[in-house]
Each structure stands twice: as structure tokens, then as C-alpha cells.
A and B are shown apart, each in its own frame.
Chain A
Amino acid sequence: MVMIVETCNLRRVIRVDSSSKETDENLLIARARDDSAAFVRLYRNHYDAVFRYCVHRLFERHIAEDVTSEVFLKVVEKIHSFKGDEMQFRCWLYRIATNAVNNHLRRTSRRNRILKLAHEQAGSQVAECEESAEKLTVLKEAVFSLRPRYQTIITLRFFENLKLTEIAEVLGSSPGTVRSQLTRALAKLRKVLDTEFTEKSEVN
């Protein structure tokens, strides 16, 4: 809620922001099933995390925004059936986002296209500087060479800083399985990254 009080020449502007984070997230989640206002607050609390996860998975801002929209529209559709606490809600969101990202990749064959174009798009839309852009290109190629499940695990673990138990919750798996899949994913990544860096240093 923004209340702006204007007097002559905007001498006095008062901002009263009620769009705050719910002090009791669990209560907010419960109310969001029927209450649009509560839902909006819940959305505001989680938008950034979902968007960042989508960027880290897709490496393109605009696509990430589209997928973020899909995620929250799905949440509107499904929230009445969600039963759980704050932590479960967070995992549930990541699960929806993961499915949306994977669907997107499948639907548009982005994975193949991105792999193909990766070299041409050295200046990635999500890199902040040239050096980072180069590393990002390498990372993008490496990550997209993995199976979607491994991509998810890598992103959740290293970019979203989720614990193994939380990743397991998102994927509906056990922490032990996630641990072994993480190890395998990292081994594959190392292989790809080593090759990439070796090739690049030889070129240089």
C-alpha cells in the first residue's frame, strides 16, 4: 500500500508501505488460498527468489521473466491445494519453478539451441562484465550439457544455496540420492569445464 500525500509542489510526500513481508509466513500462506491481498504479499515475498532461480537456470533475463510469470500463475491455480509450512512452501515454489524451466527447455528445444549459439553469444544477457561473460558462457555450456535433473541440483545447491535436505524436498527424493547425483553432476561439470578451459588457453 502506498499512500502519497501531496501538498503544494509535492512539499510533503509520505510513503506508507503496507506491502511488507508477513511476520507470520505460515499464516500468510494459509490466508493466501482465499485472500487476494495475502496472496499478493506472499508473491512479493517470493518473487525475487523465483526470478533469480529462473535466471540461473536459463541464463536469459527475458525468458526467466516469462517463466517466472508461468510459475506464479500456476501457484494461483494450485495454492488452494497446498498444505504445508513456510519451508515446504518454499520448496513447493522451487518445484513448480523447476518444472516450468524444464518444460520450457523441452518445449522450445532451448537446450540445443543454446548449446549451438553459446559460442556466438559470448556477451550473455545476464553477465555483468566481459570477464564474467566469458566464464558465464563456459558455465552455460557446461551446465546445459547436463541432464535437467543435474542442472536443477547444481543451480539449487550453488546459486540458491539450498541444503541437500531442501533440494531433496524440491525433487521429491532422499538427501542421499541427491548427494550422489550432485557428486556425479560435479564430476561431469569438471570434465567439461577442464576441456573448455584447456581449449581456450590453447587458443589464447
Chain B
Amino acid sequence: MNNNEKQFEDFVSDMKFDDAPDSEHRDKLEQRLICAMAKRPRPIKIWRIIMKSNVSKLAAAIIIIGIVLSFHVFEKLSSPAWAIEQTIEALKDLRAVYMNGIFPGGTAEIWMRANKIGTQSGDVVVRGSHGAVTWIKDGSTYHYESGQNTVYFENAITVGFSQWLGPELLEMLSKVAGAEIMRGKDPATGRQRATLMCSLLDSNGPQSWIIEFDVETKLPVSFKHWSNLDMSGPPAFYAFKIIYYQELADSLFEVSIPGNPVYVEKPLTIPDQNIGILSNPQKGMSAYGLSRQQACEQILRALYNAVIEGDLDKLKNLAPLSENWGDDFLRDVILRTGKPDRIVEVVKIGQISKTGRSKIGPIVAVPVVFKREDGSMVEQNMVIQIRQLGGKSSCVVHGPYGLPREIE
């Protein structure tokens, strides 16, 4: 270092710059960057073609769950990440959650409350950065598109979590066939993290999730969700901020739409990716000589009997999407063996409530009322695919239409 250099260094060494970054600016810029990232042109993926409208994009983005960032040094676990019994008692009462995340085309804020018994989501409000709002009211789902001044609705709860974001979530999803759990340490906080990765084809089409759980609290701290099986491309939803509450104010779930929007009912559809499995003539049940209503009643009664009796082979035959989920997952999620919410009786199979059409024929939604072991009564809409294969009429169960609803 020469003399000039030394002198200048001395001159500036005791100079006090007010150059501390402002966290408010940093956070605001971060939001701008997230939006800018989401708006960047990318190669067109199949799901982007399918998800053309904001309605389906946002709805799909929040239907279920997502992923985790695997930036830690992970090691595969040979034993469970934790025992549920060790869950901190206080955390079981967290019945409300706020999430902030990104979906293709923008960002979204989600407020959600668990249902009365804390098993799944109840009230949900999703506000997208482009002005769209999705909410649940009286068992129906509404989606407002401000640009179209239109509210799309369907008489089913099609947004939310079928398993509440509590400690049981990891237990449940870890049983999906092929699921992997890894453990790592957050280098910033030193907290232990468990990361779950799983994929399956369900009634919403192909799904993949990576969910990051905090090991101490057993709660998800971030997740990503893809509408494909290989986690390719940007996630359909990435919740990067999750805040848990004991309760949230009712006012957060009240949505008022300005002006006089047009109300349009969403048609009943099933994902094209599921058609292949539903086309297998070896699966399902003959509908020869039966009316559409009779065929639905027969197959649904047979399906629920299979669940009550624990007959997995029959279940997989009548509802073939479940075939690749893994027996452990089916026992845990569908059969609920030994759990108080196990289905014990089919009380009523209702009339066809909604019809639509897939590539292989008509589809119908039928409400089923069943009783659980704890005495509660639940209504679940199920979608049946009617088909003509080789000149023979048959039907097969596609899966649930929305989340189940407890009834009085």
C-alpha cells in the first residue's frame, strides 16, 4: 500500500456512514422481486396449459399442500421423525393459521381456521395479489375474479386442508407410498427440521409436496405443492410464511364483493391425467341394466362397505386412484382403523346432485351420509365416472368432491 493509499484509508477510516440497511425497504423489495420472479416468462408446461384461468390456478394452488426447501444438509431417517405422543400439548390448540405464499402469476395470503373438531380446515379466505378472492361460506366455495366481475361458485368445499396443519400431518403423509423424510438442521436458528417429500395421483390429479416441519413443535413451517408427480417446474403454491394462532377474528373470514358481480356455477370436472386409470375395464363395477342413480348407489355402498370391513383390495378396485397410495396410507387415511372417526355405517346415499362430463363419459356427484364410531354424522360428496367400455356399461369411483362436512 503506497502513501496516498494509506492516507486516504486513514481519512475514511473514522468516517461514520449511516449506511445501515432499512428492513422495511428490504422486505418491500423482496415482495416486488417475488412478483417479478413469478411474472418471468418460462417454458410452457402442461399444467400451465391446463390451468389457463386465474380461477383454476388459484384454486389449484391452495387445494392442498406444498414443499420444503432442502437447503440443509439432510440425512435420510431410518426411524420416525418423532413420536406424536411427544407433541407439546399447547400446540394442539392452534386452530388458526395465516400463510403467505407464491403461486404462478402472483402472491396470495391465506387465512384459515380448523373445523370444530380440529381435523380439517373449516373457514378459508384466500386473497390473491391480482385482486381475486376465494372463500368458503355455508359449505360452498366462492371465487371472485375482479377483472371479470364474476363470482364462480360450487356447492362443495374445494379449498383447504383435508388434514389440519397439526402434528398428525407428517404422520399421515409419511405413509404415502414412496414418501421420504429427511432430517436437517436450520443453520440460522439451529433448530431441527424434518422434511417430507411425497407424490401421488388423487382426485385433484397428480400432486407432489415437500413440507418442512419444525421437529420440536411438529408444525409445518413452509411447504411447496406441485401439480405433477416429479416436482418439475415452479410450484403451484409455495407457502414461505406460516403463522399459527389459537384463534382468528370472524371479521377476517367475512368477504364482501363490491358492485353486482355475476354468479356462475363451476362445472363438475375431473383431471385429464386421471382418465387413464379410470378407463381400466378391470376396475369398477358393471352398471348393466341399472339406471345412473342405481349404479351410483350400488358402487358407493360397495365402496363404503369395503372401508368399513377393511377390504383394501375391493377399495382399490372400486376407486382405482387409491391403488398406488400405499396400504399404510390407506389404512391411516381411509380405513382409520382404531380411530374414533372410523366409518361404521352408511346412513344414506342421496340423489345425484351434479353432473358433468369427462373424456370417457358422464360424471356425477352423489352425497353420501355416514356415521363415525364417535357418533358424528358426516356428509361427503363422491364423484362417479360412468363409462361404456367394449359395449358394456360400467362405473368406477373417481373420489371425493370437496371436503367432508359434519352434519347435525
| Residues 1-59 (chain A) with a chain B CB within 8 angstroms | 1-8, 12, 14-24, 27-28, 34-41, 43-44, 47-48, 51-52, 55-56
CB distance from B196 to the nearest CB of A (A): 15
Contacts of B93 in A (CB 8 A): 7
Contact A186 B21 (CB under 8 A): no
How far, in angstroms, from A189 to B189 measured CA to CA in the complex? 45
Contact B18 A128 (CB under 8 A): yes
Q: Which of A6, A7, A41, A128 contacts B16 (CB 8 A)?
A: A128
Contact B21 A52 (CB under 8 A): yes
Q: Is B334 an interface residue (CB 8 A)?
A: no
Contact A16 B214 (CB under 8 A): yes
Contact B234 A34 (CB under 8 A): yes
Of the listed residues A18, A41, A128, the one surrounded by the most CB atoms of chain B closer than 10 A to its CB is A18
Contact A39 B71 (CB under 8 A): no
Q: Main SS of chain A's interface residues? A: helix
Contact B71 A28 (CB under 8 A): yes
CB distance from A155 to the nearest CB of B (A): 10
Which B residue's beta carbon lies closest to that of A48? B21
| Residues 164-183 (chain A) with a chain B CB within 8 angstroms | 182-183
Q: Is A193 an interface residue (CB 8 A)?
A: yes
Contacts of B188 in A (CB 8 A): 17-21
Q: Which of A20, A48, A72 contacts B187 (CB 8 A)?
A: A20
| Residues 16-48 (chain B) with a chain A CB within 8 angstroms | 16-19, 21-22, 25-26, 29-30, 32-34, 36-38, 40, 42
- Choose the segment among B1-9, B79-87, B359-367 that binds chain A (4+ C-beta atoms closer than 8 Å): B1-9
Contacts of A51 in B (CB 8 A): 19, 21, 26
- Choose the segment among B239-247, B267-275, B286-294, B344-352 that binds chain A (4+ C-beta atoms closer than 8 Å): B239-247
Contact A127 B17 (CB under 8 A): yes
How far, in angstroms, from A47 to B28 measured CA to CA in the complex? 12
Contact A18 B29 (CB under 8 A): no
Which B residue's beta carbon lies closest to that of A66? B25
Contacts of A87 in B (CB 8 A): none
How far, in angstroms, from A20 to B15 measured CA to CA in the complex? 31
Number of A-B contacts (CB under 8 A): 174
Of the listed residues B2, B21, B238, B242, the one surrounded by the most CB atoms of chain A closer than 10 A to its CB is B21
Contacts of A117 in B (CB 8 A): none
Interface size of B in residues (CB-CB distance below 8 Å): 61
Contacts of B221 in A (CB 8 A): 1, 3, 16, 18
Q: Is B91 an interface residue (CB 8 A)?
A: yes
Knowing A36-B102, A129-B16, A158-B8, say if A16 contacts B186 (CB, 8 Å): yes
Which A residue's beta carbon lies closest to that of B247? A6
Contact B32 A190 (CB under 8 A): no
CB distance from B171 to the nearest CB of A (A): 19
CB distance from B81 to the nearest CB of A (A): 15
Q: Is B308 an interface residue (CB 8 A)?
A: no
Which of under 10, 10 to 19, 20 to 34, or 35 or more describes the interface residues of A? 35 or more
How far, in angstroms, from A14 to B400 measured CA to CA in the complex? 36
CB distance from B373 to the nearest CB of A (A): 31
Contact A16 B71 (CB under 8 A): no
Encode contact with A along B201-244: 1 for CB under 8 Å, 0 otherwise.
00000000000101011010110100000000110001011111
Where the two chains meet, the residues of A that have a C-beta atom closer than 8 Å to any C-beta of B are 1-8, 12, 14-24, 27-28, 34-41, 43-44, 47-48, 51-52, 55-56, 61, 65, 68-69, 72-73, 76-77, 125-129, 132, 135-136, 139, 154, 158-159, 182-183, 186-187, 189-190, 193
Where the two chains meet, the residues of B that have a C-beta atom closer than 8 Å to any C-beta of A are 2, 4-5, 7-9, 11-12, 14-19, 21-22, 25-26, 29-30, 32-34, 36-38, 40, 42, 69, 71-73, 90-91, 93-94, 102, 186-189, 191, 193, 212, 214, 216-217, 219, 221-222, 224, 233-234, 238, 240-246
Q: Please name the 6 residue pairs, one residue from A and one from B, whose CB atoms are nearest each other, closest first.
A: A20-B188, A128-B16, A186-B4, A55-B19, A36-B37, A132-B16
A-B contact pairs, 28 of them (CB 8 A): A1-B212, A3-B244, A7-B93, A14-B214, A14-B216, A16-B191, A16-B214, A16-B217, A19-B188, A23-B72, A23-B73, A36-B37, A37-B240, A41-B69, A51-B21, A52-B19, A52-B21, A55-B17, A56-B17, A69-B29, A69-B32, A73-B36, A77-B40, A125-B18, A128-B16, A132-B16, A132-B17, A139-B11
